[in-house]
Each structure stands twice: as C-alpha cells, then as structure tokens.
Amino acid sequence: MKKFILISILFITSCHNFKSDYNDYEGFNVLSIDDANKESKLEVSRYVDSITYIPLETDTSCLIGKIKKVELDSKYIYVLDRYSSNSLFVFDWEGNFFKKIGAQGKGPGEYCSAHDFCLLPNDTIVLYDRDCKRLFYYYKFQFVKTKEIEWFSHSIAYDQNRFYFYMQKQYSFNKLYKGNYDLITTTSSLEFLNKLFRYEQSNTMYYDPENIFRYCNDSLIFISRNKDKIYKLKENQIRKAYYLSFGKDNVPYEYTLSIEVFNKYKDDYSYLWNTFLESSRFIFYDADLKGDNYVYYFFYDKKNTEFSYSKLLDNDIDKIFSDFIYSNDSCFVGIVSPIDIIDNQNIITNELSTCLQNLDKMDNPIIAIYHLKR
C-alpha cells in the first residue's frame, strides 16, 4: 500500500487502554473489526444518559430545507442549510430563531454561496463563499470584512490560530498552490503555511464527506481520503490517531484514486461510510461491510475498552433515532425530521410527544442532543 507523505508528523500513543491484541499500525491506534463484538442490536442507552430535543422555530425568515452542518457553543446553535436556503442561521438553546448570518447577493458584504463556516474565538464567525473564493467575517453577528483566497476548497476549519482548507481534489486553477495535497494551512491572517497529505493525481475522488473536520479534546480531527486513517491536527503537528481495520477487507489505496475504480470494486471491500465522531469517552463510526447491503454502527468505549458493532442502532430511550452529525466532548448531535415524529407518534414516549406537540410536517427540523455517559 502506498503511504501518505506527511509534513511535521508527531507520533503519539493514546492514553486510553486499547485491547492488548491491538497491533500498532504505522503509529496508529487500531480499531479492528476482529476485536469487536458483533451484536444483533446496539441500544442507545448503553452510551447515552438522556436526550434533549430542541425544535427549531419555524418562520419565513428562517426556513430550513436540509441541514448540512451544525455547530454549538454555550449560547447558540449554528445551522447551515447549503442547498435550500443557502444560509447560516443562529438559534438559541430553546430553539428560538436569533439571527441569519449575512445575505446572499452581489452587493457589498453579500455572499454568493454559504458553503461552509467555522467559529473563531472572541465571538467571531467566518462564512466561506466557495463560488467567489471569499471569507466573510462577522463579529458579534455583525458583518466586519471580506477576505479573498486564491483557491477553491471543499471544507474549512479553524484551530489554534490556523485555518485548514480541505481541497478535495486538485483544481488546475489553484495555480499558486498547485500540487496533489488534501490540506492547505494558513495563519489566522491567511498567510500560506503548508500543504499536507500528498496523494497521487486523480480526476475524481470516491470520498466526498459531509463534514471532514471534527473536534475532540482540543484537537481537530481529520479523516483521510481513503477513509481508514484518522488524524488529529494541532498547531504544527499531525498526530496519528486511529486506523479503522476491517481485516483483509480494507480498500486498497490504489482503488481510492478515482470514483470509477472504486465503484467497480467497492462490493469486494469494507470502508467507513460517512461518519466518524469522538467524545471524551466514546468513538462512533458507521461502515459499509463487504458482502452486506446494510450500514453497520460501531461504538468503542474508551473507558471500559468495549468494542461492539451492529446493523441496528436502537433508540430504546424514546424510539426515534437520528444519524449523528456533530460531536463534542460530552454529546453527539443528530437531526430529527418532524415527519418522523408525526408518523411514529404511536411508538414514541409520552415525554417526547408532549415536548413536540403542535408539530407540523412542514416545520423546521429538530435538534437532538444525545448526552453521553461519562
């Protein structure tokens, strides 16, 4: 297998107690399917103490089609709808609509596309306009300035006074930083620092992740393009975190260089499907396994070193389950459609039914906060 060429690499060993039969793979902690217990179902209550549901206010000024990204801070919930309203909305923790960030248009301070965003320290939000290659800065929700960048990026993140730009694939018009790299890093003032994670030239990629960047324990998590290596980025260090082993069924690197090749051979291999999340105690990911048409859910308990997976994740707390799309040290976050609540009123708990009464199918989605066990 060909390896990534990494810059400024720091090899570390996790402080968590992985099973003794886990083998170190090129410096990664290995999460191997051979060490996981296959179960008929995984009950949410094994990992979650309670669930808080926050119906987002529905108003003509904040209509949401499909949520692409969610971020939380101590006061607000930030919701990006890239496809329908092309907007970034802010709600308080009661679900009340607070603010729409910026506006779409061609005038001063207006963006073409709300493609991504990140939260900076000191009450600053940066919205990424991919179509026009610009970053829009907002301080305390008020527009401050615009900065142009010289490349097109798929996703952005900010951590430790650095911007990270996920390039997705090599664009011929990114002339200044031409080269086959997944990441570009810059200073907080957008001065170029480095190109990271070199790969071989390809026209397309088989992995188009929803949210390539995650945060956990003061580190930025990055999922590699071949979807089986997880890294943690901090300052000028690239830390090898986890290798997702499916035994002999991991996708060979050379099959990840184009979507045409991957689609031809994918049924013969296993691979991360869409989500990898980590909290202080738990690791969660989903995977498509060889020879099976189901997506499997994996949970690793770092405290008790318990590793299990199943094709059924059962919300035994209140019967409605939503895919996880966000995590921090203490919770996972999912999105629930009002239709799912209304169509399943006969099976949901009374507590949930009371919480979401007077719900309409056309209302905005509901934020589900899964409070994880400590």
Domain ranges of the chain: 9-372
Q: In what order do the strands lie in the sheet with 331-336?
A: 48-55, 366-372, 331-336, 324-327
How far apart CA 353 and CA 104 sit, in angstroms, is: 37
| Structure confidence by residue, pLDDT tens digits, 117-176 | 999 999 999 999 999 999 999 999 999 999 999 888 889 999 989 999 988 655 544 555
Q: CA torsion, points 183, 332, 322, 309, in degrees to nearest 10?
A: 80
How far apart CA 115 and CA 127 sit, in angstroms, is: 8
Q: Is pLDDT larger for residue 322 or for residue 312?
A: 312
Specify the pLDDT at position 201: 60
pLDDT band with cut points at 50, 70 and 90 for residue 5: very low
Q: What is the mean pLDDT of residues 215-234?
A: 86
How far apart CA 165 and CA 179 sit, in angstroms, is: 14
Check if the beta carbon of residue 297 is closer than 8 Å to that of residue 42.
yes
Mean pLDDT of the chain: 85
CA dist 124 → 96, 215, 239, 277, 363 (Å): 21, 18, 27, 25, 29
| pLDDT at position 180 over 90 | no
Residue 121 contacts by C-beta under 8 Å, 6 or more apart in sequence?
none
Please, which residues bridge with residue 71 across strands? 78
Q: Which residue, among 200, 248, 239, 207, has the nearest Cα to 224 in the 3D structure? A: 207
**Phi (first) and psi of residue 78, to 5 degrees:** -105, 125
Specify the pLDDT at position 179: 66
Q: Is pLDDT larger for residue 227 or for residue 102?
A: 102
Q: What is the mean pLDDT of residues 32-44?
A: 97
Specify the pLDDT at position 128: 96
Specify the pLDDT at position 22: 36
pLDDT band with cut points at 50, 70 and 90 for residue 21: very low
| pLDDT at position 182 over 70 | yes
Q: What is the mean pLDDT of residues 344-373?
A: 85
| Structure confidence by residue, pLDDT tens digits, 242-268 | 999 999 999 988 887 777 888 889 899
Q: What is the mean pLDDT of residues 358-370?
A: 92
Q: What is the reported pTM? A: 0.88
Specify the pLDDT at position 3: 33
**Two tokens, residue 39:** 């179960």
Question: Which class in CATH covers the domain with range 9-372?
Answer: mainly beta
Q: What is the mean pLDDT of residues 206-213?
A: 67
How far apart CA 84 and CA 300 sit, in angstroms, is: 35
| Structure confidence by residue, pLDDT tens digits, 280-308 | 999 999 999 998 888 999 999 999 999 99
pLDDT band with cut points at 50, 70 and 90 for residue 208: low
